[in-house]
Structure 1
């Protein structure tokens, strides 16, 4: 059962105390807030689920580092990239009797990825009574610092070596110098996936509602077919890719014109194209390629939207724009009247 989150960012941490609280689900501003809650003021805590907004903003305050013998279920989620990975193993070593652990971490600026070997040496060896591990750990690294190529197969083997057979690995090249590697338990238990590229495992992400796709290479139409199949509950989609769409998989119709299979995204409500090539705007707004019946929010660059809709007159893109209630541009517009007739619900 999910508990409502509570942010402590505006509350003095010392005011929070309980001698009988056993379960807590909370959202906090910094990792310091998390450590404050585990400094002895909640000694009876057995279940602690915490979402931390910013781990890197933690201070140099020295916190109580006593063991937490009563804690048997711990969940730590942080959706923003951070550098101070070393704080996580230090905290977990205070939980020797932990039985259930959930981690969602996005780590940047390290010279090595977090793989199964790191998970074993940094975490599992210190929690011998652990029964279940649910995780998503993403590493963003500068590949110029690597002495070897990233191998998805090798990373996958490190997970198998520590008994995590029900886990998957993705390796995604975001630029000439940056790569992202993710390891995660299966089935995927989270609703947020912040980075997915052209190559990803053939599985269904049943709980994901928010997805960001990003790659150094252009996306094919078939990529979006796979996205629709693999993310049946997708509501929020962001596309970061300045490369044009790859056209190699296009078919020829009987009159030799190029045609696509139409893709349906039945739950998609928000589409962010502000960092995507206009080909992907065409991919989603053209009704011969996609059907987005619930799309109510669209973020795009005005010149690209104007081109794709043929100056807001094109019939093929009219239906997928009909229910948009919020249209967000990232540039100052001189004349904002020309698109209102095309988006009647604005």
Structure 2
């Protein structure tokens, strides 16, 4: 038989399956079901292709056929559904799903809870006992801040009460602003309580709410991922201090500055003696000493004999006084000589303002958020970082942003804080020097509000920087007017052309020139 005579159907089932696994299961089901070939029909209905169905970001024509025809063929095999919240009615009215246990809803908001997660909803009645794993990707924004206590009762508490067999609850945000944190202060201990939940990922308003969740109301919790908005919020309540022997995984993230690290976070970690995996992302201010390898060993690791994985990104920002020695990067690196979990990166930056910033982190860097990067950032790839804040009192020159664009290739959200003017700007004018154009391919949010005017020009001038996806800009209005020559300068027009939201410190003075310069700006 000549090679040219071999067709797809001549291949054995094992080889066909190996080839089809390279495709998305949506493509396989759409292409092979009902093509008048019994063999392909049977293969397409294999559990490999029907166990998990992801109906997000697909064409309306494909979606329509799925809801009308394909779901009726495979509904009995589906265990995991991923769909946008707007599709709940279409998908669940198409068929029942007797094996469905995992549900992920994208663009979720509180209206979904009120509409579907109740006993009067036919869809709610269908899923309330089946779902054991629930993931909610929020689409709420912070434009209107809800009353957190009401939100906790009406949304979070209802979710955990409604799903009777829920073991894993994962609530995420669609952006860095995320979603309203749970607030349990002055609420009964029966609120957000479960005797079967073993895994929780959630935001909380304060560190006190983190402690409330660990006061016994979730007595089977083994994995806890929490992002805290405010660690330092005071509390008059004496919280439960019992050891959390069942806790195997703990992840704590706080993007706000923390002044009570030693009094609050360290005691909580000491309550987790059986922890096997720990993740910390923190910025600590004004403690007595830098957080280095010696501190982590003596204050955390010796209390966790079963710990196997320790991932961290920790910044200590201290005022320099007589008790603090001047240390180099090598000095800090040496303190990690006895910690062998992962490779460690570190930087120490001393400022003329009598302060020091010490940054220690595990490599490879796996966090999507990175704070307080300075001119002295190490030669490291931050391939997972989407949200970044940079700050310094020395100017960020053009070469710095070249390094940054290569080091953080997927960057979407950038905040620049630097009141010192760029030096290269005046050199460029004097020497008529040109620079290679920097490209941030994925950047959609930029804040230069708290920076010198030279950074406004650095990013908006298309001979320096190319921002093809920039849709949101936070900026000083007078600087913007100056750099764009009252919205007439051609060299800054390109990087402004796709902006849909402009945030300034003053009310925008609407004019024809402004809207001509920002054609997509909402009125």
Instruction: Report TM bin, short chain.
Output: over 0.9
* 1:104-157 CA-partner distances (Å, limit 9, x unpaired): 111112232111111111100100110000111111111245442132211111
Query: Residues of 2 paired with 1:204 and 1:13: CA distance?
Result: 46
Deviation at 1:212, TM superposition (A): 0.8
Aligned to 1:23: 199
Aligned to 1:272: 447
Deviation at 1:178, TM superposition (A): 2.5
Matches within 5 A, 1:146-225: 146-163=323-340, 166-173=343-350, 176-225=353-402
Query: Residues of 2 paired with 1:238 and 1:218: CA distance?
Result: 15
Query: Residues of 1 paired with 2:419 and 2:429: CA distance?
Result: 26
Bigger relative contact order, structure 1 or 2, given CA contacts below 8 A and separation 6+?
A: 1
Contact 1:66–1:94 under 8 Å retained in 2 = yes
Give the stretch that moved more between structures: 190-199 or 151-160: 151-160
Aligned to 2:486: 311
**Residue 4 of structure 1 pairs with residue 4 of structure 2:** no
Give the stretch that moved more between structures: 143-152 or 127-136: 143-152
Deviation at 1:58, TM superposition (A): 3.6
* 1:77-96 CA-partner distances (Å, limit 9, x unpaired): 11111111122121111111
Matches within 5 A, 1:45-56: 45-56=221-232
Contact 1:172–1:196 under 8 Å retained in 2 = no
State the Cα RMSD in Å: 2.3
Displaced runs of 4 or more, over 6 A: 248-253
* 1:291-312 CA-partner distances (Å, limit 9, x unpaired): 1011111111122112211222
Contact 2:206–2:231 under 8 Å retained in 1 = yes
Aligned to 2:157: none
Give the stretch that moved more between structures: 210-219 or 326-335: 326-335
1:260 is paired with a residue whose SS is coil
Contact 1:159–1:165 under 8 Å retained in 2 = no
* 1:158-207 CA-partner distances (Å, limit 9, x unpaired): 12333355111122345512222111111112111121000111111111
Aligned to 1:227: 404
Deviation at 1:219, TM superposition (A): 1.1
Q: Which runs of 5+ in 2 are unaligned?
A: 1-103, 105-134, 136-169, 173-179
Which structure shows the bigger proportion of residues in strand conformation? 1
Q: Which runs of 5+ in 1 are unaligned?
A: none
* 1:18-73 CA-partner distances (Å, limit 9, x unpaired): 22211111211111111122122222211111111111004032122111111111
Which structure shows the bigger proportion of residues in helix conformation? 2
2:517 is paired with a residue whose SS is coil
Matches within 5 A, 1:101-116: 101-116=278-293
Matches within 5 A, 1:132-147: 132-147=309-324
User: How many equivalent residue pairs?
Assistant: 344
Contact 2:411–2:440 under 8 Å retained in 1 = yes
Aligned to 2:463: 288
- Of 217, 235, 240, which aligns to 1:59? 235
Return the index of the structure with the highest Cα Rg: 2
Give the stretch that moved more between structures: 11-20 or 265-274: 11-20
Give the stretch that moved more between structures: 305-314 or 282-291: 305-314
